């Protein structure tokens, strides 16, 4: 129990018991939880990411890093991003932020076991994005990131794909 004094009025607040809360909305995404390392990467590339519960298990936070060695046409680089998955109005949503200044807002479809699709809403004159994760029988996590050009909201084309294993 907590007592809060505001404008001379004392309020008594009690934590909401876990049993009284609704079901675990994040349960379909728990297959993502853990520390993952990219596998089968091209020479000079490496990456890792972590999905973890946060905010008293009300959100899932993914932190990601990808490293690229210098090549003939580009200098060495490092990409970092953050994905926050949450429940809003009984729908799973996610917000993405990266070191290049991108911000993407996703709706999340996780109705299939060990499979989740993050898809951005169509907006006039803006690309649309789809991020997909699937766990194979061998425990390998396969990810893909696709982009649809402005005006062709469902004509997604592959941009990146990867595989990862739990550490």
Which residue from 36, 44, 86 is spatially nearest to 64, judged by alpha carbons? 36
Q: Name the fold adopted by 23-166.
A: Lipocalin (2.40.128)
C-alpha radius of gyration, the chain, whole number: 19
Which parts of the chain register pLDDT below 50? 1-22
Which residue from 92, 35, 86, 28 is spatially nearest to 56, judged by alpha carbons? 86
As a dihedral over the C-alpha atoms of residue 163, residue 28, residue 60, residue 106, rounded to 10 degrees, the angle is 80
Predicted pLDDT of residue 124: 87
Predicted pLDDT of residue 23: 76
Cα gap 128→149, rounded to integer Å: 7
Read off the pLDDT of residues 11-60 as tens digits, 9 standing for 90 and up: 444 333 333 344 799 999 999 999 999 999 999 999 999 999 999 999 99
As a dihedral over the C-alpha atoms of residue 136, residue 59, residue 62, residue 39, rounded to 10 degrees, the angle is -10
């Amino acid at each position: 129990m907590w007592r809060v004094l505001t404008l001379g009025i004392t309020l008594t607040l009690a934590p909401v018991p876990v049993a009284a809360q609704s079901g675990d909305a994040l349960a379909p995404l728990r297959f993502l939880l853990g520390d993952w390392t990219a596998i089968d990467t091209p020479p000079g590339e490496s990456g890792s990411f972590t999905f973890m519960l946060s905010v008293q298990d009300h959100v899932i936070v993914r932190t990601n890093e990808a490293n690229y060695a210098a090549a003939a046409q580009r200098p060495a680089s490092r990409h970092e991003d953050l994905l926050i998955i949450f429940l809003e109005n009984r729908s799973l949503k996610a917000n993405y932020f990266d070191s290049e200044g991108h911000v993407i807002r996703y709706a999340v479809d996780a109705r299939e076991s060990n499979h989740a699709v993050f898809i951005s809403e169509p907006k006039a004159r803006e690309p649309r994005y789809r991020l997909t994760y699937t766990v194979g029988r061998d425990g390998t996590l396969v990810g893909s990131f696709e982009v649809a050009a402005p005006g062709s909201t469902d004509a997604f084309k592959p941009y990146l794909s990867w595989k990862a294993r739990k550490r």
